Chains A and B, each alone.
Chain A
Amino acid sequence: MGLVLLAIIWLITFFSTYFFAAKTWWLPHGAAKAASFIDHQFALTYILMGIVFVAAQGALGWLVWKYRDGASNGPVDYSHGNTTMELMWTTLTAVLFIGLNLMGSHVWASERFAPAAAGAVPVEVTGMQFAWYFRYPGADAKYGRTDPKLMDPSAGNEAALGLDTADAAGKDDVITGTMYIPVNREVDLTLRAVDVIHSFFVPSFRFKQDAVPGLAIHMHFTPTEIGDYEIACAELCGLGHYKMHGMVHVVSQEDFDKWLAAREAEKQ
Chain B
Amino acid sequence: MSLNPEYLKEERNQEWRAELRSKTKNKDRALIERVHMPELAPEIRVKYQDREVNMGLQLEQAQKEATRCMDCANPTCIEGCPVSINIPKFVKYIEKGEILKAAATLKETNALPAVCGRVCPQEKQCEAKCFYVEKMSKNSVAIGHLERFAADFERDSGTSNIPETAKPNGIKVATVGSGPASLSFAGDMVKYGYDVTVFEALHEIGGVLKYGIPEFRLPNSIVDFELDNLKKMGVKFETNYIVGRTSSFDDLKEEGYKGFFIGSGAGLPRFMDIPGENSNGILSSNEYLTRVNLMGAATDATDTPVLKGKNVAVIGGGNTAMDSVRTALRLGADRAMIIYRRSEEEMPARIEEVKHAKEEGVEFMMLCNPLEYYADAKGRVKGMRLNRMGLGEPDASGRRRPMPIEGSEFELDVDLVVVAVGVSPNPLVPTCLPDLKITRWGTIVVDEDKMQSSISEMFAGGDIVRGGATVILAMGDGRRAAENMNNFLQKQSIN
**A-B interaction:** no
Residues of A near any B CB (own CB < 8 A):
none
Chain B contacts to A: CB under 8 angstroms = none
